[in-house]
Amino acid sequence: MTHDTITRLCLSHVVLPLATEISDAKVFTGRQKPMTEVNFLFCELWTADGLYGVGFAYSKRAGGPAQFAHAREIADNLIGEDPNDIDRLRVMLLWAGASVGRSGVAVQAIAAIDVALWDLKAKRAGLPLAKLIGAHRDSIRCYNTSGGFLNAPLETVLENATRSVEAGIGGIKIKVGHPDPRVDLERLTAVRGHLGDGFPLMVDANQQWDRPTALRMCTAFEQFDLVWIEEPLDAYDHEGHADLARRVITPIATGEMLTSVAEHASLIEHRSCDVIQPDAPRIGGISEFLRLSALASTAGLMLAPHFSMEIHSHLAATYPLEPWVEHFDWPDPLFNEHMRIEDGRMIVSERPGLGVTLSDRLRAWTVDSLELGTR
């Protein structure tokens, strides 16, 4: 019988500065300020057998300190526990913080721990995480988002697209949802012409259209042969997304802003999208992502996980249908290893676990930390 115990745990709140502030449609409609940094919650675990696991969650704009605060309240429950019993520990942590619910910050704090436990378990087996779960492929189609924000001048968006294609990335996504629809059409026309017919191109409206506007814009976008139109409506408007998905030829994508499996289950039940975009750190970690993945594959949905490519490359590799993974270069300074891109695809790491180690720059950006247990 394999039995091990968690002897030490470290939580770190890390604030990653962005080289350039970014704005999507939520800024142009006055609902948010430009984003200048990303907050990360890292969890590191050590065991009596000498094993080590690392995981993370994150928050854009608000939420980082709250994730860290919740994690530090519940993390002491892990000391002395067997790290192999991942789902039992997940449920234990949910009950430890039951009064704050089972979505949002509560599960995002647990997500960092859950990911660390899966990383540790794969390392114990000597396998990449994808192989531990059971992979369908060793590489995944990938597309870039970080070069196409609305605040970037069109010339910069085109230059960024060129760099991404030259780096081997297989698709480009740009932001839309500008208050003036003519701006969206001008930028999209230019990007499609720059990339050429047939090159995978996606757009993301970041929830900023109402139903009539969404139908009008999605219809106008049909000429551009898009892979998908992302978040045309409010993330919780499942009925509106379902109606749009029925009426529009281009696939509709959504899901990244939902913070539990239950919310995604409602999305699937309503047939609200063609492409589902869960985010493992937002819905509670790898354990919850795998539950959702089973529901989504049964429904025949395309999968395109949001952000966190260091985690999602492994999870997308286990999905039965050919998925997409989102490429962001922002987190690169946090890790000593970087994702390899070839011929339009992201190569799944062959190193045990997630295949990443934490950089010295990450330590320098740590604004708060907590250590529990003994060295």
Measured CA to CA, the distance from residue 73 to residue 2 in angstroms comes to: 29
The answer to whether 61 is annotated as binding is: yes
Q: What is the per-residue pLDDT for 2?
A: 64
* Catalytic (active site) residue 121: no
Unique residue bearing structure tokens 């708060």: 368
Parse the chain into domains and list their residue ranges. Answer: 6-126+360-373, 130-347
* Partner residues linked to 37 by β-bridges: 17
Render pLDDT for 319-349 as a digit per residue (tens, 0 to 9).
Answer: 999 999 999 989 999 999 999 999 999 999 9
CATH number assigned to the domain covering 130-347: 3.20.20.120
Catalytic residue among 123, 306, 314, 327: 306
Instruction: Take residue 69 and report the two structure tokens written for it.
Output: 């605060």
The answer to whether 25 is annotated as binding is: yes
**Cβ-based neighbour number of residue 119 at 10 Å:** 29
* Catalytic (active site) residue 131: no
Unique residue bearing structure tokens 């430009």: 34
DSSP state at residue 127: S
Hey, CA dihedral for 73, 76, 77, 82, is it positive or negative?
positive
101 dihedral zone (left: phi>0; alpha: psi -120 to 50; beta): left
Q: What is the per-residue pLDDT for 86?
A: 98
- One DSSP character per residue, 200-249 reads -EEEE-TT---HHHHHHHHHHGGGG--S-EE--S-TT-HHHHHHHHHH-S
The answer to whether 204 is annotated as binding is: yes
The answer to whether 151 is annotated as binding is: no
Topology of domain 6-126+360-373, CATH? Enolase-like; domain 1 (3.30.390)
Percent above pLDDT 90 for the chain: 95
Fold matches, 6-126+360-373 and 130-347: no
Q: Would you report the helix, strand and coil content of the chain in percent, each value rounded to 5? A: 40, 25, 35
Q: What is the per-residue pLDDT for 136?
A: 98
The answer to whether 24 is annotated as binding is: yes
- One DSSP character per residue, 251-320 reads PEEE-TT--SHHHHHHHHHTT--SEE---HHHHTSHHHHHHHHHHHHHTT-EE---S-HHHHHHHHHT-S
Render pLDDT for 48-97 as a digit per residue (tens, 0 to 9).
Answer: 999 999 999 999 988 999 999 999 999 999 999 999 999 999 999 999 99
- Those residues of the chain that have pLDDT short of 50 are none
